[in-house]
Amino acid sequence: MNHTVYNFGAGPAMLPHAVLEQVQAELLDWHGRGISVMEMSHRGADYMRIVAEAEQDLRDLLQIPGNYKVLFLQGGATLQFAMVPMNLLRGHTRASYVQTGVWSEKAIAEAGRFATVEVAASNTDRQARVVPRQSEWRVSADTAYVHITGNETIGGLEFDFVPELGGIPLVSDASSHILSKPMDVSRFGLIYAGAQKNIGPAGLTLVIVREDLVGHAPAGTATMLDYAVHAQEGSMHNTPPTFAIYVAGLVFKWLNGLGGLDKIAEINARKAACLYAGIDDSGGFYTNAIEHRNRSRMNVPFTLHDAALDKAFLSAADTQGFLQLKGHRLLGGMRASIYNAMPEAGVRALVEFMRDFARRWG
Amino acid sequence: MNHTVYNFGAGPAMLPHAVLEQVQAELLDWHGRGISVMEMSHRGADYMRIVAEAEQDLRDLLQIPGNYKVLFLQGGATLQFAMVPMNLLRGHTRASYVQTGVWSEKAIAEAGRFATVEVAASNTDRQARVVPRQSEWRVSADTAYVHITGNETIGGLEFDFVPELGGIPLVSDASSHILSKPMDVSRFGLIYAGAQKNIGPAGLTLVIVREDLVGHAPAGTATMLDYAVHAQEGSMHNTPPTFAIYVAGLVFKWLNGLGGLDKIAEINARKAACLYAGIDDSGGFYTNAIEHRNRSRMNVPFTLHDAALDKAFLSAADTQGFLQLKGHRLLGGMRASIYNAMPEAGVRALVEFMRDFARRWG
C-alpha cells in the first residue's frame, strides 16, 4: 500500500496493514497446507483451530465472562435488528429503545414488527446532538430489554456511560465502536456488531450474549434466526463465513499484540482529540456540533462553513490520498471515520491538510 | 500452490488457481487505488462496478432472462430453506418437496415451520440411490411450488431432468451443481445456491428469482428475509459480503474466459466419467451404488470393499496430496468432490492413486 493513502471510509473500512499483508502472504498456501483458507472445510481440524483461536483471542481482548456465548453470524447488524426482538422477548410484549440517530431508528422500526416498542428516550428535540442522560429515560418495569446504539456511525454520537438497569437486560449495537476501548461485557445482556468497521471484512456479524438469554425464540422461528441453534453448534449450524472469521481472528491477534484494548483506547483518544482540535481551532471554518461528552471517537462528521467549498475540499483530499471523506448522504458535509486501523499519522496528516485547505480558502 | 496438492473437499471447496492468484496480487492495492477491495465502501463507484460486472457476467453465463432478479445474499442455503416458504406461499398453505437425500430432508424440515409440506416423491424406499422419475410424483394442484435439490452433495445424486410442472413454480437448491453446465433458468421459478462450491468463498448466497414471485412475503416478515427488499435495493439494503462477491465475480470471469458453461460441462463430464470408470473398473475394490443416470458429476461418494482399509486409504491419499477425501460423517466411506475448479489432471491423478492403492491392498 502507498502510505500516502489514508482511507476514512465508515465501513467497510480500513483494515490493519499488517493483517492485510499476512492475508496476502498466506492466501494461496496457509501454513504449508497447499490450499487457501477459503478452500478449507469448516469442519476440518485446521479451520476449527482458526475459529477457536479467534474466539479465545476475542474473549481475552474483551475479558468476556464464561457465561457469555460468542457467535459468528451473518446478515449484519440489520439482521440483528430482527433477531434481537425475535429471541429476547421471553414472554414480554414490550421492548425499550433509546433513540439517538439513524441507526437506532432503523433498529426501532424493525423491532416494531415483533414487539411493542417503547422509546425510552430520544434526542430528536436536540437535533440528535446528545445522548440523553439516563435520568431522562422512562423504562417500563415489564419491558423485555433496553436497546441502545453505543455509537451512531452517521451522526457521530457515542455513549459516554453504560446505563444501569437493575435486572433488565441491556442490548447494544456496538458495530462502530466495539474493540475501540475496554467494555465491561458483564453489564450487557447482548452486544452485536457488524464486522466491517473494527473487526474484519463485511459479511460477518459478531454476537456476544449472556447464556440465560439464549433459548427463548418462539416455536416456528426460522432455525437460522434462533441464537440457541448457533450457540449449541458453535456457530457451525451451517457453513459460516470462513474467510471473514479468519481475517477477524488476525485482527484480534493484531490488537492483542499491540497491547490490547487499554492501549488502543489511548491511541484512539489521541486520534480523536487531534481531529476535534483541528475542527474546533479552525475559527469556524469547520464545525462539529455534537455535545462534547458524546462526540464519537470513531466517526467524526464535520461541515465546512460554506457548503459551496465541499466539492473542492473532497477533490483536493482525494488527490492527496485522503479517501472517502464525503459525509453520509443523509447528513451531507464530511465525515472522517478513524477506527482502530487508522494510524495516528493518518489523522495528523488529515488535520494538516484541513488546516492548509482552510488557509487557502478561508 | 504446490500442484501436487488436489483438494477434493465438498465445500468450502477448491477455487480456480488463477482466481486466487489475482486475489492475492491485488489484495493490498486494487487497480492502483491504494486500498484493498475489503476496504471499499459498498456504495462507492469502484465497488458498485464490481457488483454490476459480477451480475452481468453471471447473467451471460446462465443466460438469465430479463424478468429474473439476481440477488447476492447471506446465510447460505440453510437460510433459503426458510426464506423460500416465507416468500413463495402467495396465499397457499401447501408446498411440495421431492425427497432425494440429506439436503432435501433439511429443506423439508425447515419448510414445515411455515407451510404444510407435501412430499411429492421420495427415494427412501430405494436407499436414496435414484431420483424418482416425474411420472411417480404426486403434486397437488393447489401447491405453492415444487422444491427439488438439484444435486445432493452428500448422497452424490443429481437430477438428470428438469421437471415440467405447468404453471407451478419450480424451486431448486442448486448449491452444489450451479454453473457446472448450462441451465435453462426460464424453467425455474427460483434457484438458490450457497457460494462455497462452484461460485466463491463461503458467506455468499446466490438467489435467481422470477420477478412475479417477488413481493409476496407476509406483513411482519423480517426485512432481511424479504426478497422484495433485496430486489428493490440491488442487494444493497445493508452492507453485502463485499469481498465474497468480488471473488465470485472473478470466478464468473474465469468461466467466461474458459468458454462458458458449455465448455465447463464438457470438462466436467470427462472428469466424472474418468472417476466413475476408475471405481467401476476396480473389480469391486471401490463401489458407488447410485443409479447411473443420477450419478452426480460433482460429488462422487465411494466405499472400499473393506472399511478396515479406510484409514490407510485416507492416510496414503493425504501424504500424496489428495486432500479431504473422507466421506460425510452421515455416510462414512469416501467422497471426491470434483467441482469446476478441480482440473482434469487432478481427477486423473486421483484415479491413478486409487488404482495403485487397490493393487497394493487388493
Please write the tens of the pLDDT for every residue from B212-221.
Answer: 999 999 999 9
Of the pLDDT bands very low, low, confident and very high (cuts 50, 70, 90), residue B31 is very high
In this model, does residue B3 exceed pLDDT 80?
A: no
Backbone φ, ψ for residue A118 (5° rounding)? -110, 120
Chain B environment of A74 (Cβ under 8 Å):
74-76, 79, 203, 241
B34 touches chain A (CB under 8 A): yes
Cα four-point dihedral sign A251, A256, A261, A264? negative
Residue B220: Cβ within 10 Å count: 8
CB contact under 8 A, B241 and A27: no
CA distance A61 to chain B (A): 23
The partner residue sitting opposite B24, judged by closest CB among A27, A75, A204, is A27
B175 touches chain A (CB under 8 A): no
Suggest the residue from B29, B41, B242, B246 to mutate for an interface test with chain A (most A CBs closer than 10 A).
B41
pLDDT at B44: 94
* ipTM at complex level: 0.97
Distance CA A130, CA B121 (A): 61
CB contact under 8 A, B12 and A40: yes
Chain A environment of B9 (Cβ under 8 Å):
39-41, 44
Distance CA B147, CA B67 (A): 20
CB contact under 8 A, B243 and A201: yes
Active site residues of A: 103, 173, 197
| Residue A318: closest C-alpha in chain B | B33
CB contact under 8 A, B113 and A220: yes
- The stretches in chain A having pLDDT less than 50 are 1-2
CB contact under 8 A, A75 and B38: no
The partner residue sitting opposite A1, judged by closest CB among B28, B82, B324, is B28
Write the single-letter amino acid at B262.
Answer: D
Residue B216: Cβ within 10 Å count: 18
Chain A environment of B82 (Cβ under 8 Å):
222-225
Distance CA B99, CA A317 (A): 59
Q: Where in chain B is the domain with CATH 3.40.640.10?
A: 19-257
**Is B308 exposed, middle or buried (CB count within 10 Å of its CB: 0-12, 13-18, 19+)?**
exposed
A327 touches chain B (CB under 8 A): no
In this model, does residue B241 exceed pLDDT 70?
A: yes
pLDDT at B109: 98
pLDDT tens string A314-361 = 999 999 999 999 999 888 999 999 999 999 999 999 999 999 999 999
| Residue A19: closest C-alpha in chain B | B28
Among candidates A217, A218, A221, A196, which has minimal Cα distance to A206? A196
Asked if residue A305 lies in contact with residue A285, where contact means CB atoms within 8 angstroms, the answer is yes
Active site residues of B: 103, 173, 197
CB contact under 8 A, A224 and B78: yes
pLDDT at B244: 98
Q: How many contacts (CB atoms, under 8 Å) link A and B?
A: 213
Distance CA A122, CA B267 (A): 62
CB contact under 8 A, B242 and A203: yes
Distance CA B261, CA A76 (A): 33
In this model, does residue B1 exceed pLDDT 90?
A: no
Chain B environment of A323 (Cβ under 8 Å):
34-35
DSSP strand pairing (B6-7 vs B151-152): unpaired
Cα four-point dihedral sign A64, A66, A68, A72? positive
pLDDT at B188: 98
pLDDT at A238: 96
pLDDT at B214: 98
Q: Which three cell numbers stand for residue A255?
A: 490488537
CATH architecture for segment(s) A19-257: 3-Layer(aba) Sandwich (3.40)
Between positions 207 and 236 of B, the ones with CB within 8 A of A are 220-225
- To the question of whether residue A268 is assigned a binding role by annotation, the answer is no
The partner residue sitting opposite B239, judged by closest CB among A39, A194, A223, is A194
CATH architecture for segment(s) A260-361: Alpha-Beta Complex (3.90)
Among candidates A247, A262, A264, A268, which has minimal Cα distance to A338? A268
Distance CA B196, CA B203 (A): 8
The partner residue sitting opposite B12, judged by closest CB among A5, A28, A39, is A39
Among candidates B201, B299, B265, which has minimal Cα distance to A35? B201
Distance CA B231, CA B208 (A): 10
CB contact under 8 A, B203 and A244: yes
Q: Where in chain B is the domain with CATH 3.90.1150.10?
A: 260-361
Distance CA A270, CA B326 (A): 53
CA distance B208 to chain A (A): 19
A114 touches chain B (CB under 8 A): yes
CA trace torsion A203, A86, A112, A104 (10° rounding): -40
The partner residue sitting opposite B242, judged by closest CB among A39, A202, A223, is A202
pLDDT at B2: 45
B75 touches chain A (CB under 8 A): yes
Mean model confidence pLDDT for chain B? 97
Please give the span between the terminal C-alpha atoms of chain B, in angstroms, as a whole number.
Answer: 33
CB contact under 8 A, A75 and B76: no
| Residue A241: closest C-alpha in chain B | B203
A80 touches chain B (CB under 8 A): no
DSSP strand pairing (B170-173 vs A146-149): unpaired
Bridge partners of B206, per DSSP, are B72, B193
- To the question of whether residue A361 is assigned a binding role by annotation, the answer is no
Bridge partners of A340, per DSSP, are none
pLDDT at B260: 98
pLDDT tens string A288-315 = 999 999 999 999 999 999 999 999 999 9
- To the question of whether residue A67 is assigned a binding role by annotation, the answer is no
Q: What is the pTM of this model?
A: 0.98
